[in-house]
Chains A and B, each alone.
Chain A
Amino acid sequence: MSTGIDELKERNRKLIDEVLEAYPEKSAKRRAKHLGTYTEEKGECGVKSNIKSLPGVMTIRGCAYAGSKGVVWGPVKDMVHISHGPVGCGQYSWATRRNYYNGTTGVDSFVAMQVTSDFQEKDIVFGGDKKLNKLIDEIETLFPLNKGITIQSECPVGLIGDDIESVSRVKAKEYNKTIVPVRCEGFRGVSQSLGHHIANDTIRDWVFEKGDKNAPKFESTPYDVAIIADYNIGGDAWSSRILIEEMGLRVIAQWSGDGTLAEMEATPKAKLNLLHCYRSMNYITRHMEEKYGIPWVEYNFFGPTKIAESLRAIAAHFDDTIKEGAERVIAKYQPMIDGILAKYKTRLEAKKVMLFVGGLRPRHVIGAYEDLGMEIVGTGYEFGHNDDYQRTTHYVKDGTLIYDDVSGYEFEKFVEKVQPDLVGSGIKEKYIFQKMGIPFRQMHSWDYSGPYHGYDGFAIFARDMDMAINAPVWKLTKAPW
């Protein structure tokens, strides 16, 4: 081991000690478990995860509702998703996650809409079930082309003893439609993550278990696959799908970005499930493996290295035509990628990056940065679990600073001391670091750009990172006098 790495680890240790000093003793002890350094010899990130956030520390995390409505269910375009409870949750998550879809909003598609039961005091006192009942009638009147409804519970629903399952059963029968009650109240679990899990379970219980009356009739082929857990942020699932189809496979379902209830119902016919965001949909993928015998493969479509690896890994599940198809796709895009790398690599080489994102990107985007010659010096998950940190060990270098559920205070101090050339995190963090003079890209929403998946997406990714780091504005932050 080089002295450089030892020094780095020592610096990290000091840095962590330093930030912990600011906490009350009890809290410092708890936070210490979430801050660490990846050490190659142990092969560990050295942090605990998926544990309750400390109160009052300015966690970046959200809630179970955000995980269900905001992530898993919200993008399913032909269903109406009711934010069931007070007005706020649906309001703040209205059309902010950039789950692109094709369709006519308000007629056959309902993603960028805020549909809520808008609880008032009387609903808290007398319960919201009657209102929900009526509300479903009103949805059926005003949006007759909807294919189904989901009920995304907000905090009060679980506290006042409403029986949304019973309402769902009755109304599903009445309208002969899929109605899915989701118990994703914001106080459940420790982050968005439990919301993903709960939402996955409702797909199992309220979609798969209820038949496939919405599924389209098509002849199966040996090459049918489903894209699982791509939310089509800025069109990510599309710039992925195009490659999968080009290699000769047929995508029969897209979960859940630009997805439909029909595609969900048809997924058990897939020969292989392609899982992008492991964190948010490994549950339903494992279920399909157990119940329908569908194998699954994790893939990563960020950056040419990982794309090529993934295309080959997917192709390995099929015959030679698909394997050849994968090689053909890789070869086809290589000249374009060579052009992108020639243009941007010299501008980005050796730039240091710190990341803090949700449950997948803290590891998945690392390859894309490395393709551009950049280096990840710190990373962490908002709501990752132990298996995410294990997977992270395949991506990070010895000595990388690891911070789980980082607090505002910690993140600011880490960045201040490490002085990376770029921070990739969310909207809440963006302006803090830009004020500190550090280039920043939002890695949830792609800063309103994207797609970043696939070869087409990598071109945009490379340009955006260059645009962030090499913007002339960063030379202006200090007054010349």
Chain B
Amino acid sequence: MSQSAEKIIDHSRLFQGEEYRKMFANKRCTFENAVSEEQLIQIGEWSKSLEYREKNFAREALVINPARACQPLGAVFAALGFEGTLPFVHGSQGCVAYYRSHFSRHFKEPTSAVSSSMTEDAAVFGGMGNLVDGLANSFSLYKPKMIAVSTTCMAEVIGDDLNAFIKTAKEKGSVPEDLDVPFAHTPAFVGSHTTGYDNALNGILGHFWNGKAGTAPKLERTPNGSINFIGGFDGYTIGNMREIKRIFKLMGVEATILGDPSDVWDTPSDGKFRMYDGGTTLVDAANAVHANATISMQEFCTFKTLDMIEKSGQETVAFNHPIGVEGTDRFLMEVARLSGKPIPEELRKERGRLVDAIADSSALVHGKKFAIFGDPDMALGLTAFLLELGAEPIHVLSSNGNAAWQEKATALLSSSPFGADCHAYAGKDLWHMRSLLFTEPVDFLIGSTYGKFLERDTKTPLIRVGFPIFDRHHHHRYPVWGYQGAMNVLVWILDKILDEADRESVDGCSFDAVR
């Protein structure tokens, strides 16, 4: 008997008990028709080989453990960044259940979004009825200030026309005529969640700026000297947005954050559930057209959006999820240039403190080999930081990276002597990464929770930075942008390096008290 009232043991220990192990062994040898130990070892070892790597990289159709999701996830992210906004995904309902679960597992927060719950009849006759009724129900129950519509692949395959459907819904009185219902087509079979973010944000801003789908005059832009800021699809949005606002405040910069879900994904536990909280106000979203310039922290999340903004007459500047000293330098200098405000002494001091910390710890990181995977901009930001630390980002992989990303990542690696033996892998998945880690091993792996399977197989210690992080709590509350954000990333890297140093030396003489 395994349990007792005095000592209740969890699954991890329970199933290591002898009674259970005996049961497992009997099941395996009598009923599972399992492969032989010999075969298991042989194929297991073969899967680590160069020969396997070649076959693995020769894949044309099969995708295994990709580190990317589909467009509507990004659309929901973008929508949640606006005041009182309900994300409405037109198509099958299971998708929305998945997006809500996915975000809740990462942020440990509720995520409100609705579906138009299309079923077989809608597949045949189109989903207009679902959209018309769905908007009416959503509006009645949840009283949103804005409903941001996107699509699942089902609605896209049958070719539902959102523009026409929303017009019809308004004519039928589902929602008030003047309710803002921006929309974006976000087919899951094109791009990834970062594309969906871009499409949705473009849809929302375009709605306000370009005449609300023909129902209002197009806004006349009169530059007012302010700047806009877009964070992109970012797992650290809670910490990052607050850090960015602090920096803008320190600099005295008047900036409009376009898409800020940092409050709605960080509401207090005080007895009340807030379905909506914070976010860019709809007035600010409209007035953002008058800004002088827009800064995007994630180029690969905002191609279309920045293009639209540029066409409105603004200057646009895009970064690649800047992490580290030089990335933050460039960001601040651009903010200073665009706003005409100098970088204050306080930030110079923060910079100095980060440089100081890097100098203190540099010897621990210098020359260490890393593998990185993540969204295109995050992968670039992390790569730049590692190069700055004197580490070697040997494998840099982005499952949703395209040819442009490959070029950019390769150029970044070539810009530093520490990038000499390093390679970028666009559009590859984590099964490719598995082969890379077996055939060209590195010291550490940086990426999302999905990296833990690589850590188990290849014994490469995982430093969790990215999205999603399901199995560690609250890291998303910390910024990774700004000098203080880089400090956080530095500490996460160092903690793992030092934990490993202890783990490796626990039975030896190198188990040092001071490191």
Give chain A's interface residues, CB within 8 Å of chain B: 22-24, 26-27, 52-66, 78, 85-89, 91-96, 100, 102, 104-108, 112-121, 123-124, 131-132, 134-135, 138-139, 141-142, 144-145, 147, 154-156, 158-160, 186-190, 192, 214-216, 218, 234-235, 238-239, 241-242, 245, 251-254, 258, 260-263, 266, 332-333, 336, 339-340, 342-343, 407-409, 412, 426-437, 449-451, 455-456, 459-460, 462-463, 473, 477-479
Q: A92-B99, A235-B15 are in contact. Are A342 and B5 (CB under 8 A)?
A: yes
Given A63-B95, A431-B110, A235-B14 contact (CB < 8 Å): yes
Residues of chain B lying within 8 A (CB to CB) of residue A24: 136-137, 140
- Given known contacts A216-B32, A436-B272, A120 and B136 CB-to-CB distance under 8 angstroms: no
Instruction: Name 11 interchain pairs, CB-CB below 8 A, sorted by A.
Output: A64-B94, A86-B188, A114-B64, A186-B92, A188-B120, A216-B30, A261-B33, A266-B31, A336-B3, A339-B6, A463-B8
- The 8 Å CB contact of B33, one of A138, A154, A262, A450, is A262
Give bound CA distance, A92 to B158, whole Å.
23
| CB within 8 Å for A115 and B20 given contacts A88-B70, A428-B100 | no
Within 8 A of A (CB), among B61-81: 61-66, 68-70, 72-73
| CB <8 Å contact, B142 and A187 | no
- Interface membership of B88, Cβ < 8 A: yes
With contacts A61-B93, A92-B98, A131-B61 taken as known, whether A459 is within 8 angstroms of B70 at the C-beta atoms is no
B33→A214 contact, CB < 8 A: yes
B498 at the interface (CB under 8 A from A): no
- B269 contact from A155, A239, A412, A437, Cβ within 8 A: A437
User: For B55, B59, B98, which residue has the most chain A Cβ atoms within 10 angstroms?
Assistant: B98
Q: Do A87 and B70 touch across chains, with their CB atoms under 8 A apart?
A: yes
Instruction: Pick the most buried of B62, B95, B153: most chain A CB atoms within 10 A of its CB.
Output: B62
Contact A91 B271 (CB under 8 A): no
Tell me whether A339 and B66 are in contact in the complex, defined as CB-CB below 8 angstroms, given that A88-B188, A216-B31 are known contacts. Answer: no
With A62-B97, A142-B52, A218-B30 known, 16 other A-B pairs at CB within 8 A are A23-B140, A26-B133, A27-B136, A105-B453, A108-B34, A112-B453, A135-B61, A155-B154, A156-B154, A186-B92, A186-B94, A186-B95, A187-B123, A239-B14, A251-B31, A430-B104
Stretch of B36-44, B304-312, B384-392, B487-495 with 4 or more beta carbons under 8 angstroms from chain A: B36-44
Q: Kindly provide the distance from the CB of B84 to the nearest chain A CB, expressed in whole angstroms.
A: 15
Contacting chain A: which of B21-29, B287-295, B316-324, B439-447?
A: B21-29
Give the docked Cα–Cα distance between A216 and B33 (Å): 5
Q: Chain A residues near B189: list those with CB within 8 A.
A: 85-86, 119-121, 123-124, 156
- Chain A residues whose C-beta falls within 8 Å of the C-beta of B70 in the assembled complex: 86-88, 91
Q: A55-B131, A260-B32 are in contact. Are A142 and B61 (CB under 8 A)?
A: no
Q: How far is the CA of A204 from the CA of B494 in the complex (A)?
A: 54
Instruction: Contact check, A437 vs B190: say whether CB atoms are below 8 A apart.
Output: no
Question: A242–B153 contact, CB under 8 A?
Answer: no
Q: Which residues of B contact A115 (CB under 8 A)?
A: 62-64
A409 to B273, CA, bound (A): 11
A25 to B97, CA, bound (A): 26
Q: A346 to chain B: closest CB distance in Å?
A: 13
Q: Mark B167-204, 1 if CB is under 8 A from A, else 0.
A: 00000000000000000000111101000000000000
Q: Beyond A23-B140, A449-B11, is A142–B119 a contact (Cβ under 8 Å)?
A: no
B19 at the A interface (CB under 8 A): yes
Given the complex of chains A and B, what is the CA–CA distance between A26 and B65 in angstroms? 44
Residues of A within 8 A of B154 (CB): 155-156, 159, 186-187
Q: Are B32 and A262 in contact (CB under 8 A)?
A: yes
Say yes or no: A477 contacts B120, CB within 8 Å. Answer: no
Residues of B contacting A96 in the complex (Cβ-Cβ under 8 angstroms): 101, 105, 470
User: In the bound complex, what is the Cα–Cα distance between A83 and B361 (angstroms)?
Assistant: 45
Are B133 and A54 closer than 8 Å at their CB atoms?
Answer: yes
Complex CA gap A75/B109 in Å reads: 28
Q: Which of A87, A104, A333, A336 has the most CB of B within 10 A?
A: A87
| CB-based closest 9 A-B pairs | A63-B94, A88-B70, A339-B5, A55-B134, A56-B134, A262-B33, A92-B98, A86-B188, A56-B137
Chain B contacts of A451 at CB under 8 A?
11, 14
Asked if B138 is an interface residue, CB under 8 A from chain A, the answer is yes
A134 to B59, CA, bound (A): 9
Question: Is B108 interfacial (CB 8 A cutoff)?
Answer: yes
CB distance from A226 to the nearest CB of B (A): 10
B176 CB to nearest chain A CB (Å): 13
Knowing A235-B11, A432-B110, the reply to whether A138 touches B271 (Cβ < 8 A) is no
Decide yes or no whether B115 CB sits under 8 A from chain A.
yes
Of B1, B32, B187, B470, which is in contact with the most chain A CB atoms at under 10 Å from its CB?
B32
**Structural contact, A55 and B133, CB atoms closer than 8 A:** yes
Q: Are A89's CB and B98's CB within 8 A? A: yes
Residue pair B99, A459 in contact (C-beta under 8 Å): no
B112 within 8 A of A: yes
- A409:B69 contact, CB within 8 angstroms: no
CB contacts (< 8 Å) of A120 on chain B: these are 189-190
**Are A456 and B2 interface neighbours, CB within 8 A?**
yes
Q: Smallest distance from the beta carbon of A375 to chain B beta carbons, Å?
A: 23
B118 adjacent to chain A (CB < 8 Å)? yes
Query: Are A117 and B61 in touch, CB under 8 angstroms?
Result: yes
Nearest Cβ on chain B to A110's Cβ, whole angstroms: 10
Residue from B112, B120, B188, B470 having most chain A Cβ neighbours under 10 A: B188
Whether A187 contacts B19 in the complex (CB less than 8 A), given A262-B31, A343-B5, comes out as no
B499 in the interface, Cβ–Cβ < 8 Å? no
- Please report the C-alpha to C-alpha distance between residue A27 and residue B470 in the assembled complex, in whole angstroms: 36
Asked whether, in the complex, the Cβ of A87 is within 8 Å of the Cβ of B137, the reply is no
A168 nearest CB across to chain B (Å)? 15
* CB-CB nearest in chain B for A130: B61
B10 at the interface (CB under 8 A from A): yes
Nearest-neighbour CB distance to chain A for B30, whole angstroms, equals 6
The answer for the CA separation of A340 and B396 in the assembled complex, in Å, is 51
Which chain B positions have C-beta within 8 A of A188? Answer: 119-120
Q: How far is the CA of A147 from the CA of B50 in the complex (A)?
A: 25
Take A59-B93, A460-B8 as given contacts and tell me if A145 and B273 are in contact as well, using a CB distance cutoff of 8 Å. no
Interface of chain B residues 100 through 158 with chain A (CB within 8 A): 100-102, 104-105, 108-120, 122-123, 130-131, 133-138, 140-142, 152-154, 157-158
Residues of B within 8 A of A55 (CB): 114-118, 130-131, 133-134, 137
Which of B3, B47, B62 sits near A107, CB closer than 8 Å? B47
With A57-B141, A235-B11 already in contact, the answer to whether A104 and B117 are too (CB < 8 A) is no
How far is the CB of B42 from the nearest CB of chain A, in Å? 10
Within the assembled complex, what's the spacing in Å between the Cα atoms of A410 and B199?
Answer: 32
- Interface: B402 (CB within 8 A): no
Rounded to whole Å, the gap between the CB of B464 and the closest CB of chain A is: 15
- The docked-state distance in angstroms from the alpha carbon of A119 to that of B157 is 12
Q: With contacts A156-B153, A156-B189, A263-B32 known, is A107 near B117, CB below 8 A? A: no
**In the complex, are the beta carbons of B270 and A93 less than 8 A apart?**
no
- Chain A residue at smallest Cβ distance from B190: A121
The yes or no answer to B56 lying at the interface (CB within 8 A) is yes
Task: Tell me the nearest residue of chain B to A137, going by C-beta.
Answer: B61
Q: Which residue of chain B lies nearest to A342 when distances are taken between CB atoms in the complex?
A: B5
**Interchain CB contact under 8 A, A138 and B60:** yes
Check if B474 is an interface residue, CB within 8 A of chain A: no
**A23 to B88 alpha-carbon distance, docked (Å):** 17
B142 near A27: Cβ-Cβ < 8 Å:
no
Which B residue's beta carbon lies closest to that of A241? Answer: B23
CB–CB B273/A412 < 8 A: yes
What residues on B are CB-neighbors of A343 within 8 Å?
5
- Residues in B with CB closer than 8 Å to A113 are 64-65, 453
B91 within 8 A of A: yes
Q: How far is the CA of A63 from the CA of B89 in the complex (A)?
A: 14
In the complex, the answer to whether B101 meets A428 with C-beta atoms within 8 Å is yes
Judge whether B457 is part of the interface by a CB distance below 8 angstroms.
yes
- Check A159–B188 contact: CB distance below 8 A: no
Shortest beta-carbon distance, B174 to chain A, in Å? 8
On whether the beta carbons of A435 and B3 are closer than 8 Å, the reply is no
Residues from chain A with a CB closer than 8 A to the CB of B226 are: none
Q: Is B362 part of the binding interface, using a Cβ–Cβ cutoff of 8 Å?
A: no
